[in-house]
Every structure is written in C-alpha cells, then in structure tokens.
Amino acid sequence: MKSTHTQSRNLEGMAKPRRRHLHNVVAVLAVLVGLAAFGSPTAVLAQNFNESNVASQNPEGSWLYTVTIPNSGSAPTVFQGIETYSAGGGYVEADQLSFTYGYLATAGHGAWASTGNNTFLLTYINLTYDGAGNATGSSKVRQTTRISGNSYSGSGDYSYYDLNGEVVASGTFTITAKRILVQAPK
C-alpha cells in the first residue's frame, strides 16, 4: 500500500509536465497573436533596419560595390566586391580582384569612421600571397565616400607592399555601391 506522501509526490510529478506544456502553448499563442498584429517579424525588422540606416546615412550593413582603376593607355580595370560595415566601425570585404593571379589576397579587414554630412572614411588591409600560397606582403586601401540613400560613390588610393614593407605598386580608384536589402523569397 502506498503512503499518502508517495501518492502526493506522484500527482505533483504528473502536474509539472502538464503545467510546462500549458506554459509553452501560451507562449506560442502569444507569439502568433503578435505576428498577426504586426505582420512578419522579418519584414518589420528588415524594414526598420534599412529605413534607419537610410535615415542616418551611415554605411552599416552590406553592399555590392564596383571599383574602377584607371590604366593609362588601356582600358580601366573594373571588378566587383561585397563588403559589410558593422556598428562601431568594423569592416570586412572580399572582391573579384583578390582571386586574380598577381593580386591574390585574403579578404580585407579594416575600420570606417563617419566624417559627417553623409560621408565617411575607410581603411582596410589584405594579406597577399603567390599562386603557391606563399606570403608576398600586404595591401592597404584608403577611401572617402558620400552616401545617398541606398547607394554611395567615392574614391581612394591603394598600395601593395612586399614582405619588407616597401611599396611595390600603387594607384587610385573610384567606387560605386548599392546597399544589399533584405528580400523575402518568392
């Protein structure tokens, strides 16, 4: 014969999972009611994020850019890249040129800072290597940019350095970019 104490513990043990299940159901229903009232959370958050970036005219977010490097006497070098500006001034990028023999490089890492009036400065560095994967030095890019809505344009300079820090190539460029916006799938 079971004691009253044992029976009481068994009933409590059965009630706990049921209460937990009831709490989970209530939480799911609250989320669903919120979604019905406000629409898709992804769309709302994406819209708010993109609108706030446009309103403040800062580069935070990701961009698809096109660089043009003038070449005297021949066609300019044109390539695309993708970049992400993070809050607090962080920056990362990868571009098509970095996969071209003679320009092989890691993704770029750097920093940006607002200079006011919808403008900002950017500096980033890539580590360079040869076709066999041996380190050859680094490159540095410096850029000034003006944002207008979800696009920007700017210009800057670049330098390639050997392993001793000596400049082996340098030049100037222009850049244009379009912000990558959140889109729902079709």
Q: Residues 89-122: pLDDT tens digits?
A: 999 999 999 999 888 999 999 999 999 989 999 9
SS3 content of the chain, % helix, strand, coil (to 5): 30, 45, 25
- Helix count and strand count (H, E) for the chain: 2, 8
The DSSP bridge pattern shows strands 90-95 and 108-116 to be antiparallel
Decide which of 17 and 129 is more confident.
129
Mean of the pLDDT values across residues 172-180? 98
Mean of the pLDDT values across residues 119-142? 97
**Which tokens is 185 given?**
């799938």
Nearest alpha-carbon partner for 109 in 89, 127, 85, 125: 125
| Contact by Cβ (8 Å): 147, 137 | no
Q: Residues 7-60: pLDDT tens digits?
A: 555 545 555 555 545 445 444 444 444 444 444 444 444 444 444 444 458 999
In this structure, which long-range contacts are made by residues 79-88, counting pairs with CB atoms below 8 Å and at least 24 apart in sequence?
82/180, 83/108, 83/177, 85/58, 85/59, 85/60, 85/61, 85/112, 86/60, 87/60
CA distances from 52 to 71, 77, 150, 152, 183 (A): 39, 34, 11, 16, 16
Residue 10 C-alpha from the chain's centroid: 53
